[in-house]
Chains A and B, each alone.
Chain A
Amino acid sequence: MKFIKNHLMFIFPLMAILLGVEFYLVFDRTTDSYEKGLKEGYTMLVVSKKPMELSAFKVLNKHVSTSEKIKRENIVSEIAKGVSESSKKEILTALPYFYSVGLDSYMHTSGLEQIKTDLEVDANIKKVETFGSSHSSAYRLFSFIKFTLKLFIVFMAVVSLFLIIKQMEIWKYAHRQRMQVMEIFGAPLMLRSGVLFKVAIADAFIATILTSAVFLYVKFQWAANSGIDIMMRNQEELFKLSDMGILLGSALLIVIIAVYSVVFTSKGVQE
């Protein structure tokens, strides 16, 4: 019972860190696709006196990735309902050219303003509408959520790391007699702390398997039947096989740091 308790006291904080790492990975992947959606969904409106090609926009600012001409006929039919055909033609002739311009990445308001300034340098361009305010509020909310979650994950990781080191100290105390005797007889550090490494590495594997199992369950059981749209849409992003490698690597790194920090800070032979 004590043996199991000792291991769980190590595995749980390690799992907390691994869950944090996996949350980070999942969040990064899903927000990447969300960010992609925002980026793809966003366009600014450019009004020009003469027709312009995409290359012309790109010369003005490298972040411009697409440009789509808005059919002037559609605009005229919208604004000139009930007007005679000849008048429509006159309106069409007088009407400037409208472009829906897409960007290569998700931009902050200042970035959008810079693009606007760059585009307006061209004398052909009469007006650039960035729709900055709605874009900015969505971006700020998005950034805030991202920052908060990352902060929480870092905080959780630090607290868990302290718990792990504390547990390592308990282990060290439990193995103190053997480690001291081995030291007296000249065992090098690695040999006398070998048992700590063995136990910690075994627990790192267990924590990785348990964390992976949690996310596999979430991916294949819970998310599929959750009825939550964003979960169902991003089911593939919830856990990937490569995540297991990342989790195991993280777990091993954490336990090796923890064991070293405990072993190297311990005093020599005690009487």
Chain B
Amino acid sequence: MSNVINASHLTLAYGNGTKEIIKDANFSIKKGEFVFITGPSGSGKSTLLKALYGQIRPSEGNLVVGGLDLASARQSKLQELRTHMGIMFQDYKLVNEWTVAKNVVLPLMIAGYSVDVQNTQAHRLLKHVKLAEHADKFPFELSGGEQQRVGVARALAKNPVVILADEPTGNLDDYSSNVIWDLMENACQQLETTVLVVTHKIPTIFSLPYRHLIIESKGVYEVH
């Protein structure tokens, strides 16, 4: 299977390259793989994720995502790449003045789908995450677990090639966390979506085979 992500001699740094977070990392991720990225606080897990959706450019080396070299890609190409990604955050990053349904179809709105398609998809996706009855509510009216389910629905809206999730269950209780893991497993299994999850702790109940990358001392290593 082809690589969706390929990093070679990747260095990520802040402050014009003065503060290195990740140095000389080499890894690749194939289509349909489920990958957990762990590591101590401040090790650079979120930084790596940011680099994967193009918010941070590599200081050295190459980072190719979906065939696009992020070190040299133009901003417009990065934007286009993001439209093929589903991105989830610990703090959900939902737009509070939009309804749940509108939040879910944001990727479709950006891609220019018609309102009819958006409405149909919103209904389907919210049904999938068991929030159909909350379509017209606002995010702040939902619990944390429900908000993250909206986040999952949004991430899945455009059948993304890759889902990047930054501590998606970091603010949730065990029950809500398990619901989120179930939904992400389904996405990976049924849609063959590549899923990268940054987390402190790999869930104990996880049925899918997965890879585990750990970030330590600026390096990215495979855990077998």
Are A269 and B110 in contact, with the CB atoms below 8 A?
no
Please give the number of chain A residues whose Cβ is less than 8 angstroms from any Cβ of chain B in the complex. 14
- State whether the Cβ of B189 lies closer than 8 Å to any Cβ in chain A: no
Smallest CB gap from A186: residue in B: B82
- State whether the Cβ of B130 lies closer than 8 Å to any Cβ in chain A: no
Are A177 and B96 in contact, with the CB atoms below 8 A?
yes
Are B93 and A181 in contact, with the CB atoms below 8 A?
yes
Contact among B50, B76, B83, B95 for A178, CB-based, below 8 A: B95
Which residues of chain B in 82-118 are interfacial with respect to chain A, using CB atoms and an 8 Å cutoff?
82-83, 85, 87, 93-98, 106-107, 110
- State whether the Cβ of A268 lies closer than 8 Å to any Cβ in chain B: yes
A271-B90 Cα distance, complex, nearest whole Å: 11
- State whether the Cβ of B72 lies closer than 8 Å to any Cβ in chain A: no
Return chain B residues, CB-CB under 8 Å to A185.
82-83, 87, 106-107, 110, 154
Are B98 and A178 in contact, with the CB atoms below 8 A?
yes
Q: How far is the CB of B91 from chain A (nearest CB, A)?
A: 9
A153-B154 Cα distance, complex, nearest whole Å: 51
Return chain A residues, CB-CB under 8 Å to B119.
none
- State whether the Cβ of A187 lies closer than 8 Å to any Cβ in chain B: yes
- State whether the Cβ of B53 lies closer than 8 Å to any Cβ in chain A: yes
- State whether the Cβ of A182 lies closer than 8 Å to any Cβ in chain B: yes
- State whether the Cβ of B4 lies closer than 8 Å to any Cβ in chain A: no
Which residues of chain A in 162-182 are interfacial with respect to chain B, using CB atoms and an 8 Å cutoff?
177-178, 180-182
- State whether the Cβ of B8 lies closer than 8 Å to any Cβ in chain A: no
Q: Mark A228-271, 1 if CB is under 8 A from B, else 0.
A: 00000000000000000000000000000000000000001101
Which residues of chain A in 160-210 are interfacial with respect to chain B, using CB atoms and an 8 Å cutoff?
177-178, 180-182, 184-188, 191
Are A182 and B110 in contact, with the CB atoms below 8 A?
yes
Return chain A residues, CB-CB under 8 Å to B110.
182, 185-187, 191
Smallest CB gap from B106: residue in A: A185
Are B83 and A186 in contact, with the CB atoms below 8 A?
yes
A269-B51 Cα distance, complex, nearest whole Å: 12
- State whether the Cβ of B174 lies closer than 8 Å to any Cβ in chain A: no
Which 3 residue pairs of A and B lie closest in terms of their CB atoms, listed nearest first? Answer: A186-B82, A186-B83, A186-B79
Return chain B residues, CB-CB under 8 Å to A184.
53, 55, 82, 87, 93
Q: How far is the CB of B6 from chain A (nearest CB, A)?
A: 21
Contact sample, A vs B, 14 pairs, CB 8 Å cutoff: A177-B93, A178-B97, A180-B93, A181-B95, A182-B106, A182-B110, A184-B55, A185-B83, A185-B110, A186-B83, A187-B79, A191-B110, A268-B55, A269-B55
Return chain A residues, CB-CB under 8 Å to B135.
none
Q: Mark B135-175, 1 if CB is under 8 A from A, else 0.
A: 00000000000000000001000000000000000000000
- State whether the Cβ of B20 lies closer than 8 Å to any Cβ in chain A: no
Smallest CB gap from B87: residue in A: A184
A177-B78 Cα distance, complex, nearest whole Å: 20
Return chain B residues, CB-CB under 8 Å to A178.
95, 97-98
Q: How far is the CB of B54 from chain A (nearest CB, A)?
A: 9
- State whether the Cβ of B214 lies closer than 8 Å to any Cβ in chain A: no
Are A188 and B97 in contact, with the CB atoms below 8 A?
no
Q: Mark A73-92, 1 if CB is under 8 A from B, else 0.
A: 00000000000000000000
Q: How far is the CB of A192 from chain B (nearest CB, A)?
A: 9
A271-B93 Cα distance, complex, nearest whole Å: 10
Residue in B50, B79, B85 whose Cβ sees the most chain A Cβ within 10 Å: B79
Are A188 and B76 in contact, with the CB atoms below 8 A?
yes
Return chain A residues, CB-CB under 8 Å to B95.
177-178, 181
- State whether the Cβ of B80 lies closer than 8 Å to any Cβ in chain A: yes
Return chain A residues, CB-CB under 8 Å to B25.
none
Q: Mark B61-85, 1 if CB is under 8 A from A, else 0.
A: 0000000000000001011111101
A37-B81 Cα distance, complex, nearest whole Å: 68
Residue in A186, A188, A268, A269 whose Cβ sees the most chain B Cβ within 10 Å: A186
Smallest CB gap from B110: residue in A: A187
Q: How far is the CB of B70 from chain A (nearest CB, A)?
A: 14
Return chain B residues, CB-CB under 8 Å to A181.
93-95, 106
Return chain A residues, CB-CB under 8 Å to B97.
178
Return chain A residues, CB-CB under 8 Å to B50.
271
A177-B96 Cα distance, complex, nearest whole Å: 8
Residue in A178, A185, A187 whose Cβ sees the most chain B Cβ within 10 Å: A185
Are B55 and A186 in contact, with the CB atoms below 8 A?
no
Return chain B residues, CB-CB under 8 Å to A269.
55
Smallest CB gap from B112: residue in A: A191
A271-B78 Cα distance, complex, nearest whole Å: 18
